[in-house]
Amino acid sequence: NRSYEEMVQRVWEIKEKLGDTLYIPGHHYQKDEVIQFSDITGDSLQLAQAAAHNKKAQYIVFCGVHFMAETADMLTTENQKVYLPDMRAGCSMADMADIDQTERAWTKLSSLFGDSILPLTYVNSTASIKSFVGKHGGATVTSSNAEKMLKWAFTQKERILFLPDQHLGRNTAYNLGIPLEKMAVWDPHSNELLYEGDLEEILVILWKGHCSVHEKFTVSNIEHLRSTKPDMKILVHPECTREVVELSDYAGSTKYIIDKIEEAEPGSKWAVGTEMNLVNRIIQQHPDKEIISLNPFMCPCLTMNRIDLPHLLWSLESIEKGEEINRISVDKEVAENAVLALNRMLQHV
Ligand code: 13P
Ligand code: SF4
């Protein structure tokens, strides 16, 4: 059992020893004890772009969740190996769309709408879902480019199937001027389209998935804040529900949230609706502004938090010993089509 200081020192030693052959990307939702070692910190778009550009690193130790490590593996070369320090760091949203459900949904939707649908998937999805989407001409999106990608999708087909986050899909489509009446929800459990009007009217089909962290920011959190601290601005991530986004002052991706606070006037007051580690970091970085979490209980992403200093060190020490523990390696056939979907996004941003 090593102390925090001993572990920190060991990580620095290994980083120094491996030099440019080691690359540690860290998502903004990661803990500080991990982020202090990241070679790049970013949202999911920035980390995907960084993985695609990095040609030097032999070992990529991904501090984020499973789908992000899969994306990094698919966007790097065969000689570059990607590791996830804890295999339990998944994403409950990504797990809400599996490939069998998606194939079943596609069969049924094709019988209802013919070939008028293009699939889009949030990067928060498994490699198999990205592969399915790539095979059918669609693309991935992140919260930073969802609007741009949805616009592009409508140049390709009449209607869009948006996987797996109904909230990001709904909020994005709404921002593009699509009325809620023209959006239907696909329930993967009952294999049914939840819609009561004329099917011809539907423009966007939203997969019934959600982020368990961002769903914790509620209308009652907002009502409470408006009555107790009316001078606070509310800033949320678009994985929050439509109702929450509607009542907030601003909504945008992780990067948008960071930039918004960065640009804000000293003395300004903010309630932020996103993952706890990021909110805490923003609070520390901006002592001149009053910043709180929109949900007073703070909302951690439990799976992101599984990557901690002991796991990071364990992963680095196993690489040092030449072992291949917790390597993320996406099946070649799956990766081939998934990369099509990822590249359709990367060439638009
Ligand atoms: P972004 O990094 O695209 O903002 O996504 C947030 C998120 O939930 C990552 O899992
Ligand atoms: Fe998944 Fe939500 Fe956690 Fe992001 S914050 S990894 S979407 S559960």
Residue 48 has a pLDDT of 85
Compute the distance between CA of residue 163 and CA of residue 94 in angstroms, rounded to an integer. Answer: 9
Looking at the chain, the whole-number percentage of residues with pLDDT higher than 90 is 97
Residue 137 has a pLDDT of 98
Question: Looking at the predicted structure, is the pLDDT value of residue 298 above 90?
Answer: no
Q: What is the pLDDT confidence band of residue 141, given thresholds at 50, 70 and 90?
A: very high
Residue 212 half-sphere exposure toward CB, CA atoms < 13 A: 12
Residue 235 has a pLDDT of 98
Partners of residue 47 on adjacent β-strands: none
| 299 is annotated as contributing to ligand binding | no
Maximum Cα interatomic distance, the chain, rounded to a whole number of Å: 64
Compute the distance between CA of residue 217 and CA of residue 122 in angstroms, rounded to an integer. Answer: 20
Q: Which of 340, 329, 255 lies closest to 66, judged by CA?
A: 329
Mean pLDDT across the stretch 139-143? 97
Q: Whose CA is nearest to atom 6 of ligand 1?
A: 254
Compute the distance between CA of residue 175 and CA of residue 289 in angstroms, rounded to an integer. Answer: 29
Question: Looking at the predicted structure, is the pLDDT value of residue 288 above 90?
Answer: yes
Q: What is the pLDDT confidence band of residue 1, given thresholds at 50, 70 and 90?
A: confident
Residue 110 has a pLDDT of 98
Mean pLDDT across the stretch 126-150? 97
Q: Which atom of ligand 2 is nearest to the CA of 302?
A: 3
Q: Which amino acid is at 322?
A: G
Which ligand is located closest to the Cα atom of residue 276? Answer: 2
Residue 349 has a pLDDT of 81
> Strand 269-273 vs strand 290-293: parallel, antiparallel, or unpaired?
parallel
Q: Which of 242, 240, 120 lies closest to 179, judged by CA?
A: 242
Per DSSP, 162 falls in state: E
Question: Looking at the predicted structure, is the pLDDT value of residue 185 above 90?
Answer: yes
Question: Looking at the predicted structure, is the pLDDT value of residue 321 above 90?
Answer: yes
Residue 228 has a pLDDT of 97
Pocket test for ligand 1, best of 68, 239, 256 (most atoms within 8 A of CB): 239
Query: How far, rounded to the nearest angstrom, does the alpha carbon of residue 131 sit from its chain's CA centroid?
Result: 17
Cross-sheet strand order for the sheet of 233-236? 250-251, 233-236, 269-273, 290-293
Fold observed for domain 214-293: Rossmann fold (3.40.50)
Mean pLDDT across the stretch 135-149? 97
Q: In three state form, how does the secondary structure of 297-314 look?
A: CCCCCCCHHHCCHHHHHH
CA of 254 from ligand 1 middle (Å) equals 6
Please, what is the angle between helix 254-263 and helix 276-285, to 10°? 20
Residues 6+ apart with CB under 8 A from 42: 25, 26, 27, 28, 50, 255
CA of 93 from ligand 2 middle (Å) equals 6
Q: H helices within the chain, ranges in order?
A: 4-18, 32-35, 44-53, 66-75, 99-113, 127-135, 146-156, 166-175, 219-228, 242-247, 254-263, 276-285, 309-320, 332-346
Residue 103 half-sphere exposure toward CB, CA atoms < 13 A: 5
Residue 208 has a pLDDT of 98
Q: Tell me the whole-structure pTM to 2 decimals.
A: 0.96
Q: Which CATH number applies to 94-211?
A: 3.40.50.10800
Which three-class secondary structure state does DSSP give residue 115? coil
Question: Looking at the predicted structure, is the pLDDT value of residue 203 above 90?
Answer: yes
Mean pLDDT across the stretch 92-112? 98
Q: Which atom of ligand 1 is nearest to the CA of 42?
A: 2
DSSP 183-249: EEEEETTTTEEE--S-GGG--EEEESB--TTGGGS-HHHHHHHHHH-TT-EEEE-TTS-HHHHHHSS
CA of 43 from ligand 1 middle (Å) equals 6
Looking at the chain, the whole-number percentage of residues with pLDDT higher than 70 is 100
Q: Which atom of ligand 2 is nearest to the CA of 65?
A: 6
**Could you give the angle at the alpha carbon of 305 between the alpha carbons of 44 and 24, nearest 5°?**
50
Task: List pLDDT tens digits, range 220-250.
Answer: 999 999 999 999 999 999 999 999 999 999 9
Mean pLDDT of the chain: 97
CA of 233 from ligand 1 middle (Å) equals 21
| 280 is annotated as contributing to ligand binding | no
Mean pLDDT across the stretch 318-331? 97
Task: List pLDDT tens digits, range 33-92.
Answer: 999 999 999 998 899 889 889 999 999 999 999 999 999 999 999 999 999 999 999 999
Q: Whose CA is nearest to atom 9 of ligand 1?
A: 44
- Structural contact between residues 72 and 26, judged by C-beta atoms closer than 8 angstroms: no
Query: How far, rounded to the nearest angstrom, does the alpha carbon of residue 260 sit from its chain's CA centroid?
Result: 19
Q: Which atom of ligand 2 is nearest to the CA of 214?
A: 2
Mean pLDDT across the stretch 120-145? 97
- Tokens representing residue 213 in the block: 């962290």
Q: Which CATH number applies to 4-91+304-328?
A: 3.40.50.10800
Q: Please, where in the chain does CATH 3.40.50.10800 lie?
A: 4-91+304-328, 94-211, 214-293
- Tokens representing residue 37 in the block: 């070692």
ipTM over 0.85? The verdict is yes
Q: Which of 44, 36, 37 lies closest to 66, judged by CA?
A: 44
